[in-house]
Amino acid sequence: MDVIQNLLAVIVVLGLLITFHEFGHFWVARRCGVKVLRFSVGFGKPLWSRFDRHGTEFAVAAIPLGGYVKMLDEREAPVAPEEQHRAFNRQGVWSRIAIVVAGPLANFLLAVFGYWLLFVVGTTSVAPVIGEVAPGSPAAQAGLSRGQEIVAVQGDRTPTWEQINLELIAAIGHSGALSVTARDGQAGAPRDFQVPVADWLVRQDPPQPLATLGVTPWRPEIPATLGRVLEGEVAARAGLEPGDHVVAVNGRPLTDWMAFVGLVRGSPGEPLTLRIERDGEMREVTLTPASREENGATIGYIGAGAEPVSWPEEYRREIHYGPLAALGQSLSRTAEMTVLTLDSIRKMLTGLISPSNLSGPITIARIAGDTARSGLESFISFMAYLSISLGVLNLLPIPVLDGGHLAYYLIEAIRGRPVSATAQAVGLRIGMALVGTLMLMALYFDLMRL
């Protein structure tokens, strides 16, 4: 079932993002006087199509992963003399630049809209309160302690754990001290703590900023009660059901859910005898956790989740803005994520970030499915970030991508004449090799994560 949900989620996400990207090219091309021959949602054989009064065919194709826009162009097919003025290649260089840039720009606008929607509707997040500080860790050396709420990192406000992670990841490669501002409770005065680091998170695969910092987020005590049992997994096959309360494992009494998780993860392939309470009656169930790899280690897995618990009000934060204020916040968030994406690419090229952090279609499908199951808020946030990534990657000056065409047209605008067909052909081959290599690497790392 999860595989089907992941597949549907990735079809929705990539289909929407790429179609919106192509709509940007389409909309600007129309306004520049270029004839668009086809606007296709999906690839392959059209399942449905119709023509509008401008002669553009709108089609829905069989493979629903994206889409494309085909324009009238003399470089692709002969064009009737009376329509040559509507061909893309006959347009002025600035019109061609506008058409090329419109696709990535549409992705940035979609991200702005997604974040704006989240800020207007409002979101409830968990206050970034420290649960534990590992002895001897950088956080402990700086003086951070249990119960403090982190309010800023490197001078930037951090109302959520997500924002803290983003700030810490943005500091990859930093040596010296990270500035962390925290307070004791909501009424406490903020204080600055200098966290000593050296080559922060360099080549860590994958980056684990909070664990490396030595901080564990505060969590309410979660009873060892099953809230979800995945069909076909170890727990379901052993007869466990939602609502079962695990009292003991191998005769050892349990205190909470995390203690149960620790025992399961530490027992791959080893039989466990669970004493459970169901409907007021005690029962015993024996199961053997399956094995799977996680961050280079083998852990146990039974396919069950905890029953949700309510967070105390003092640990909940409402983030909500009016329509105008939300627009400013969404623009700021989009700019922040764009800079983070560009900086991550730079650090990957310089070796600070491992190339194994590249993600391909399998990882995107998994994350899309997970965020869809987590709720609309998580799904929209992920889609907005992916839209930004698509926009940034398409603007990289690599032939084949929009950024490669943009580079050619900017050179033409400066020189007063287009880049030679020979140079473009060589660039095309190089670009295809680069993009192909990146796609194969991303797919390889996807498979390794499985």
- Sign for the CA dihedral angle at 240, 246, 252, 255 comes to positive
Distance of CA 24 to the CA centre of its chain: 22
What H or E segment, with its residue span, contains residue 51?
Answer: strand 36-51
Round to whole Å and give the CA distance between 76 and 165: 47
Alpha helices (runs of H) in 273-375, residue ranges in sequence order: 323-349, 361-374
Round to whole Å and give the CA distance between 195 and 209: 13
Other Cβ atoms less than 10 A from the Cβ of 193: the count is: 18
Q: Give me 369's structure tokens.
A: 């499915």
**Residue 166, helix vs strand vs coil:** helix
* Best CA proximity match to 26, nearest among 61, 62, 66, 70: 70
Round to whole Å and give the CA distance between 14 and 10: 6
Round to whole Å and give the CA distance between 33 and 319: 44
Other Cβ atoms less than 10 A from the Cβ of 186: the count is: 11
Q: Per DSSP, which regions of 250-315 are E strands? A: 252-253, 272-278, 281-287, 290-294, 297-301, 304-306
Q: Tell me, yes or no, if 22 is annotated catalytic.
A: yes
In this structure, the strands spanning 252-253 and 245-249 are antiparallel
According to DSSP, residue 206 is labeled S
Place of tokens 């080559």: 199
Q: Give me 376's structure tokens.
A: 């609309």
Q: Give me 245's structure tokens.
A: 């309360």
Round to whole Å and give the CA distance between 327 and 109: 11
- Sign for the CA dihedral angle at 42, 43, 47, 52 comes to positive
What H or E segment, with its residue span, contains residue 102?
Answer: helix 93-121
Q: Give me 401's structure tokens.
A: 């991508």
Beta bridge partners of 228: 305
Residue among 22, 83, 307, 313 flagged as catalytic = 22
* Best CA proximity match to 108, nearest among 334, 329, 324, 333: 334
User: Which residues does the annotation mark as catalytic?
Assistant: 22
